Amino acid sequence: MATNITKIFLVLNSGSSSEKFSLYEGEDEVCSLYFEGIEEDGKKKFICTITRADGSEELIDKKWDSLDEAFKEAKAIFEKEGFINEAHPLDGILVRTPAAGKYFTQHHIADDETFVELEKAKLTYPLHVPGAIRGLKNAMAAFPGIPVLTMSDSEALTRDSRRDNDYALPAEVVEEFELARYGAHGSSYGFIIGKVKELGILADKMIVCHLGSGCSVTGFIDGEPAYTSMGETPLEGLMSSTRTGSIDPTIGALLGEKLGAEEAIKVMIKQSGLVALAGSSDMREIIAGAEEDDEKAAKAFDMFIDGVAGKIGEFAAKMGGVDAIVFTATIGERSFPVRNAIMDKLEFMGFKLRGDVSVDKSAGYANIAAEGSKPVYIIPTNEAAYMIKKASELLDAE
């Protein structure tokens, strides 16, 4: 059945202490609300910034005591702004649901089973799952009768083509906890590989680098995922803004024994990576510090570059070569110093950049490779567009 691209969706991103609502008509974002916590007189309050389609921002002159209250207010704000009404009802609410387990390798219309599976997923995602549960329950309460969908972060990566699904652990342990290298950033990879095919630039062996606040790399063979750097959770693989990346698992066990599992996971997810090494999670600040001979910043930058280049090299070896590389997400799309440093290490593989090149918005991508080099592309990602496409397909199939 054909997908109706004019549906109106509310895309929800529920953090542990924040809530973001993005309203889309088709694939066009028309308005967003961002609720975040602040300290006021020793108490936690929540404030809201509204961003309209023209990019203008406005801080709403009101504070809320909880995110649950904020959710109810979000509906009122959208209605007041004229984005939701009887003539323009919501078709669905999409909740990005980072969670491991077989159930969460697919998108679902939320029901009782969803909450049972989320409770099971708390074990490996204690910091993210509670936010998803809160978002789902609030969505159902605030918008009765509107389908609420859980959007998988690994669906686009869980394919028979994957060659790196399994962990070398006893079968009974794997089965009990449903352990597998599910991967993450699936909505980004799903969008990028779809865009690559649409543009007619698909190569036999492509490596896509999603470099943002979280970082991962995925290798594709004939347009299908073969290897990805994240595992059961996004902690595996590359170091990123605040995550450790792959470390000796004994360290995780020791932290768990000393701090408790949830606090240990929090340390590895929220307090590690670039911010632990350089005191900043912002790559721009780290690059500036490295240029000013800040040793910590330089070390953090070098470790980051080595990690990405090393993962590209690993996947190239596993795939028997690489024909093209794609950079996407905030750092991948915007940071020439990062791209340049990575590709300098890969010149022996036949890659070379031609300088700082910006993306032609009308084309939707740029080939930044020098003459004689294999292709190196910048392709801006659009995770919401992929989720909306998949949600439309799911609803149309009902």
Domain-ending residue, one of 131, 152, 173: 152
Residue carrying the six token digits 């997923």: 121
Closest CA to 341 of 308, 381, 299, 375: 308
Closest CA to 150 of 88, 215, 84, 103: 103
Q: What confidence score (pLDDT) does residue 73 get?
A: 85
Q: Does residue 195 fall inside a structural domain?
A: no
CATH number of the CATH domain containing 236 = 3.30.420.40
Closest CA to 363 of 378, 343, 349: 378
Together in a domain, 235 and 299: yes
Q: Does residue 110 fall inside a structural domain?
A: yes
Q: What confidence score (pLDDT) does residue 16 get?
A: 67
CB 391, CB 149: distance < 8 Å? yes
Please, which residues have CB within 8 angstroms of residue 197's CB and are 6 or more apart in sequence? 223
Mean pLDDT, 10 residues at a time, the chain of 398 residues: 67 82 91 91 90 91 86 86 84 92 96 96 89 91 93 96 97 96 96 97 98 97 98 96 97 97 95 98 97 97 98 98 97 96 97 84 88 96 94 91
**Chain-centre distance of CA 138, in angstroms?**
22
CB 327, CB 359: distance < 8 Å? no
Together in a domain, 72 and 205: no
Together in a domain, 110 and 217: no
Parallel, antiparallel or unpaired: strands 376-378 and 324-328: parallel
CB 105, CB 158: distance < 8 Å? yes
Q: What are phi and psi of 42, to 5 degrees?
A: 75, 5
Q: CA 156 to CA 384: how far, in whole Å? A: 14
Q: What confidence score (pLDDT) does residue 51 get?
A: 94
Please, which residues have CB within 8 angstroms of residue 91's CB and are 6 or more apart in sequence? 7, 8, 9, 146, 147, 395
CB 22, CB 384: distance < 8 Å? yes
Together in a domain, 221 and 104: no
Q: Does residue 361 fall inside a structural domain?
A: yes
Q: Does residue 31 fall inside a structural domain?
A: yes
* Sheet of 92-97, strands arranged across: 57-59, 43-52, 28-40, 18-25, 8-14, 92-97, 148-152, 108-109
Catalytic amino acids?
Answer: 153
Together in a domain, 245 and 135: no
Q: What confidence score (pLDDT) does residue 238 get?
A: 98
Residues in the chain: 398
Q: Does residue 396 fall inside a structural domain?
A: no
Together in a domain, 95 and 239: no
Q: Does residue 344 fall inside a structural domain?
A: yes
Q: Does residue 176 fall inside a structural domain?
A: no
- DSSP at 105: G
Domain-ending residue, one of 152, 167, 187: 152
3-state class of 320 per DSSP? coil
Residue carrying the six token digits 């969008």: 191
The domain tally of the chain equals 2
Q: CA 375 to CA 395: how far, in whole Å? A: 38
Please, which residues have CB within 8 angstroms of residue 343's CB and are 6 or more apart in sequence? 325, 351, 352, 353, 376
| 343-373 core/surface letters (b: 16 or more CB in 10 A; e: else) | bebbeebebbbeeeeebeeeeebbebbeeeb
CA-derived radius of gyration, the chain = 21
* Domain of residue 358, residue span: 201-383
Q: Does residue 392 fall inside a structural domain?
A: no
